[in-house]
């Protein structure tokens, strides 16, 4: 039972490089999301999706793009990496029972990204 | 935008002492969730509260949802070393279509 799978686990980028963080879930969850975690800042929502073909911005979307072409996959793209994007990134999914009463979020193991 | 404020940011307790973290929102929440993240790990769901004034218990953990559904608390009785980690509350965003986290409370247990 894989759950939410994130790749890679670690990544080092140089300023200006681009990359895609992969996220896949095998639970047929409608809702998927990306968070970044920085010391003292908690978990901040970057982008989220309530279903295939639908994405929306979270609290800190600048510098990141997402797409949701399938239910299973929700990649996060950094178009031009900056040192401020050094962080731990978590992908999470849930089956939305109904608005206002979410099912629990299932998190991946995270990707630790360093931008030099 | 929707904000969920959590205090304290850090808490050091002696093993065996009690611990409480508080979560407050400026607006009424339809529900609130609590998560625990062990050092180096990912957040893991603990519980969800939906009803006004709801109280739920999981062994030594007691979760409460305020009558006005604007605040919540997590209380741990007689802490153990296994309780070490960061505890997060999370609530729905303005349109109830996203989940916003508080900044978390990091619990340190002194032996």
In this predicted model, what pLDDT tens digit does every residue of B40-95 receive, in sequence order? 999 999 999 999 999 999 999 999 999 999 999 999 999 999 999 999 999 987 77
**pLDDT confidence bin for B1, thresholds 50/70/90:** low
Cis, bond preceding B8 (omega within 30 deg of 0): yes
Interface test with A, best of B32, B97, B102, B105 (most A CBs within 10 A): B97
Q: Walk along chain A (116 residues) and give the pLDDT tens digit of each residue.
A: 679 999 999 999 999 999 999 999 999 999 999 999 998 889 999 999 999 999 999 999 999 999 999 999 999 999 999 999 999 999 999 987 555 567 889 999 999 999 99
Q: Do B43 and A43 touch (CB under 8 A)?
A: yes
**Cβ density class B40-56: b for 16+ within 10 Å, e for less:** eebbebbbbbeeeebee
Kindly state the tokens that stand for A64.
Answer: 């990141």
Residue appearing with tokens 């300023």: A15
Reported as a single tens digit per residue, the pLDDT across A47-76 is 999 999 999 999 999 999 999 999 999 999
**pLDDT, mean over chain A:** 93
Give chain B positions within 8 Å (CB) of A107. Answer: 42-44
């Amino acid at each position: 039972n894989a759950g939410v799978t994130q790749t890679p686990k670690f990544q080092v980028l140089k300023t200006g490089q681009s990359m895609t963080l992969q996220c896949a879930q095998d639970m047929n969850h409608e809702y998927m999301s990306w968070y970044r975690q920085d010391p003292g800042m908690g978990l901040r929502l970057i982008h989220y999706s309530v279903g295939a073909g639908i994405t929306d911005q979270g609290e800190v979307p600048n510098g990141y793009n997402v797409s949701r072409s399938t239910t299973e996959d929700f990649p996060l793209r950094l178009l031009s990496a900056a040192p401020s994007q050094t962080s731990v990134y978590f992908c999470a999914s849930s089956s939305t029972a109904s608005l206002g009463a979410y099912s629990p979020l299932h998190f991946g193991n995270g990707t630790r990204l360093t931008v030099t | 935008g929707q904000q969920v404020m959590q205090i304290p940011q850090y808490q050091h307790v002696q093993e065996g002492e009690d611990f409480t973290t508080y979560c407050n929102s400026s607006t009424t929440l339809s529900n609130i969730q609590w998560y625990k993240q062990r050092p180096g790990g990912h957040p893991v769901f603990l519980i969800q509260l939906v009803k006004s004034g709801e109280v739920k218990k999981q062994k030594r953990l007691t979760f409460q949802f305020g009558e006005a559904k604007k605040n919540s608390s997590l209380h741990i009785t007689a802490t153990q070393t296994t309780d070490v980690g960061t505890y997060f509350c999370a609530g729905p965003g303005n349109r109830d279509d996203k989940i916003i986290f508080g900044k978390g409370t990091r619990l340190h247990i002194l032996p």
